[in-house]
Amino acid sequence: MNKRKISPVLSFFFLVSALFPFANSATAQVRGVPAQPEKPAALSGKVSGTVWRAEDGVPLKKATVTLMPEGRGMEAVAVRTDANGKFEFPEVSPGRYQLRAQRSGFVAAIYGRRGSGPGLTINVEPGQHVEKLEFRLERAGIISGTVMDEDNEPVEGVQVRAMRVRYSPGGRERLTTARSDSTDDLGNYRLPGLAPGTYYVQAGGRGEGVRIGGPPSTVSYAGSFYPGVASREEAHTVEVTSGNETPHVDLAVKSTPTYSISGVIVDAKSGGGVRRYDVGFGSGGAMAFTSVNRDDGTFIMRGMEPGEYNLIGRVFDLDTGAPRQGYRSVKVVDADVRVVIEIGTAATVRGEVQPADDKPMKFSGLFVALQPVEEGGMSPSGVIDEKGKFIVSNVPPGKYSVELASRERDVYVKKVRCLGQDIMAGGLELRTSQTVEDCTLTVARDVGAVSGAVTHEDKPAEGMLVVLIPVEMERRKLERHLSTAQTDSNGMFEMRGVVPGDYWAFALVPSDDAIYYDLEFADRNRERATKLAVKPSEAHSLSLKVVKAR
């Protein structure tokens, strides 16, 4: 009987096939060895829709539509609309997305967003075609003008900003920049792409001419609001309308002397290895950082206007990647200032979290966060371990509220004690190098739920904002005690994790300024509100009508 000889290459192939059955799964069959079937990939979906011009319903071509994934690991994808305003994403992985549409001369829009609301999430299932999505883009407005100095000469290179008032939870109020531009050689500026509404216009301002480690700034201009006043309270507002330019918004600015802050970052724990230094300064709640291009930690900041600054120095051990920080407050009056920033001068807060009902509690996914009272500051946080202990390190000096941060809204802080005092309402004041060892957060899990329907003119109201504002003023200052939700296409809404207590409930058209976070909003509009008492661990139902607030 003749025996067929098997070549060495084929013998090796059979050996690999036996040991690693998936190694040849991409082939069909080889000499009777069945290929292993691949795991089928999830079917792609499709997303399509139309972009219209808001004023007349004409299709808008050449608009850019961006599909933005909510999860990590996927990149945003953009397409342009055709001559009929149509857009399509033909290959979309299953998941949750948001859509953004924009075009030059129009106000950019997030799909389903009203005012400062979050917008609507688009959920794409395997093989699903999400279609007939529509955008109606509004024409943008423009502010333009000229900036002159105290001698009535044009100022070149000064920053001009169109700014809007915006409120945040807890009643904090700030000006946010919607658009900025630098003046040309004739002192002219132009701020396009503005949504209709009310704006403040400011030129110059503290920190604009700052140079860290660079050449000295020749001149700086004190912040000036239109028409040429120092404070927002004295300023005139500018109204922007759709598709129109508001010209001749002219400002007068005054040059101001500037000085330098120089010094050295000192690290008592210095050792071997390569390190990098950063230095930054904060003023009015905001922080700005830049690298120090010197190996010895020395730095110089030029162009600093008179005023008070919080300096921060950071050391990065490039071998470990671990940063260490130090802080120093400094006041610039009428001369250059030299300082030493010592690393390790940050504050530290330690403590424990305990349940109000004394029942066992899992702390996985929970953090203790220090929220600065002054808008724009840093918000350090620390993980809570399995025993309920926490440490918040590298805390800048300042005043903070101590809060619980979690991925779910199923718990809330009922009481906070630090340094032997109840700081729930008053906050925790921290000094440089201070360590607080005795913070105790008492947390509760008896949250309630509120759901219901919103109507306008007896029809379901889509995209409206439902807000629950505590009746008590002190609770309004606590971010966790406010709840919001947006209505769906049927006018329905749902809120989970509502802190028990008495509330004023409003259904509102979302606004860009989030005025409902103003501490006095509920009192001004009480006659338009519905009062609700949320009981511990109970679900409540509401029927609301859209109201026009003031």
Cβ-contact 232, 224 below 8 angstroms: no
Tell me if 68 is assigned to some domain. yes
Token pair, residue 387, equals 């025993």
Cβ-contact 163, 202 below 8 angstroms: yes
Tell me if 550 is assigned to some domain. no
Tell me the sheet residues that pair with 484: 467
Beta carbons within 8 Å of 320's beta carbon, 6+ residues apart: 273
Does residue 2 register a pLDDT over 70?
no
Minimum mean pLDDT range among 210-214, 361-365, 509-513, 530-534: 210-214
pLDDT at residue 183 in the model: 94
In 406-463, where does DSSP find H-type helix? none
pLDDT at residue 298 in the model: 86
Q: Is the dihedral of CA 186, 187, 193, 199 positive or negative?
A: negative
Local confidence band at 271 (pLDDT 50, 70, 90 cut-offs): low
Does residue 37 register a pLDDT over 50?
no
Q: Residues 396, 501: one domain?
A: no
Tell me if 182 is assigned to some domain. yes
Q: Is 345 helix (H, G, I), strand (E, B) or coil?
A: coil
Cβ-contact 406, 451 below 8 angstroms: no
Q: Residues 299, 192: one domain?
A: no
Does residue 471 register a pLDDT over 90?
yes
Burial 156-188 (b: 16+ CB within 10 A, else e): eebbbbbbbbbbebbbbebbeebbebebeeebb
Query: Region 11-28: what's the mean pLDDT?
Result: 38
**In terms of pTM, does the model score above 0.75?**
no
Q: Is the dihedral of CA 191, 195, 196, 199 positive or negative?
A: negative
Domain boundary among 399, 414, 444: 444
Q: Residues 251, 266: one domain?
A: no
Q: Residues 478, 490: one domain?
A: yes
Question: If residue 193 lies in a helix (H) or strand (E), which one and from where to where?
Answer: strand 188-194
Local confidence band at 302 (pLDDT 50, 70, 90 cut-offs): confident
Pairing label, strands 286-292, 275-283: antiparallel
What DSSP letter does each residue of 93-129 carry, written as one string? -SEEEEEEEE-TTB--EETT--TTS--PPEEE-TT-E
Tell me if 240 is assigned to some domain. yes
Cβ-contact 125, 46 below 8 angstroms: no
Task: Looking at mean pLDDT, say which of 112-116, 487-491, 519-523 comes out highest.
Answer: 519-523
Count of Cβ atoms closer than 10 Å to residue 30 Cβ: 13
- At residue 155, φ and ψ (nearest 5 deg) are -110, 125
Closest CA to 327 of 395, 269, 375: 395
Tally of domains within the chain: 6
Does residue 483 register a pLDDT over 90?
yes
Tell me if 165 is assigned to some domain. yes
Query: Region 259-270: what's the mean pLDDT?
Result: 82
Question: What is the average pLDDT score of the chain?
Answer: 84
Domain that holds residue 275: 259-342
pLDDT at residue 192 in the model: 94
Burial 121-142 (b: 16+ CB within 10 A, else e): ebebeeeeebeebebebbbbbb
Q: Residues 393, 364: one domain?
A: yes
Tell me if 531 is assigned to some domain. yes
Does residue 249 register a pLDDT over 50?
yes
Minimum mean pLDDT range among 35-39, 101-105, 160-164, 485-489: 35-39
Q: Residues 104, 164: one domain?
A: no
Helix, strand, coil percent content, the chain, rounded in steps of 5? 5, 50, 45
Does residue 509 register a pLDDT over 70?
yes
- What does the pLDDT look like over 61-103, one tens digit per residue? 999 999 999 876 678 999 999 999 999 999 999 999 999 999 9
Does residue 308 register a pLDDT over 70?
yes
Q: Residues 33, 57: one domain?
A: no
* Stronger pLDDT, 318 or 336, i.e. the higher one: 336
Q: Residues 147, 251: one domain?
A: yes
Q: Residues 337, 354: one domain?
A: no
Q: Residues 209, 250: one domain?
A: yes
Does residue 4 register a pLDDT over 90?
no
pLDDT at residue 368 in the model: 93
Does residue 284 register a pLDDT over 70?
no
Token pair, residue 354, equals 């305990």
Does residue 324 register a pLDDT over 90?
no
CATH number of the domain that 113 lies in? 2.60.40.10
For a pLDDT cut of 90, what percent of the chain falls above it? 54
Local confidence band at 287 (pLDDT 50, 70, 90 cut-offs): low
Tell me if 298 is assigned to some domain. yes
Q: Where are the beta strands (DSSP E) in 16-151?
A: 29-30, 33-34, 45-53, 64-69, 77-80, 86-92, 95-102, 109-110, 122-124, 129-137, 141-148
Alpha-carbon distance of 389 to 438, in angstroms, equals 11
Task: Looking at mean pLDDT, say which of 48-62, 296-310, 396-410, 510-524 comes out highest.
Answer: 48-62
Does residue 265 register a pLDDT over 90?
no
pLDDT at residue 196 in the model: 92
Tell me if 86 is assigned to some domain. yes
Does residue 288 register a pLDDT over 70?
no
Alpha-carbon distance of 440 to 490, in angstroms, equals 44
What DSSP letter does each residue of 364-399 carry, written as one string? TTEEEEEEESSTT----EEEB-TTSEEEEEEEPSEE
Q: Residues 35, 113: one domain?
A: no
Does residue 492 register a pLDDT over 90?
yes
Query: Region 360-384: what's the mean pLDDT?
Result: 84
Domain boundary among 421, 444, 467: 444
Query: Region 114-120: what's the mean pLDDT?
Result: 73
DSSP state of 35: P
pLDDT at residue 258 in the model: 83
Alpha-carbon distance of 240 to 429, in angstroms, equals 41
Q: Residues 252, 145: one domain?
A: yes
Domain boundary among 256, 275, 310: 256
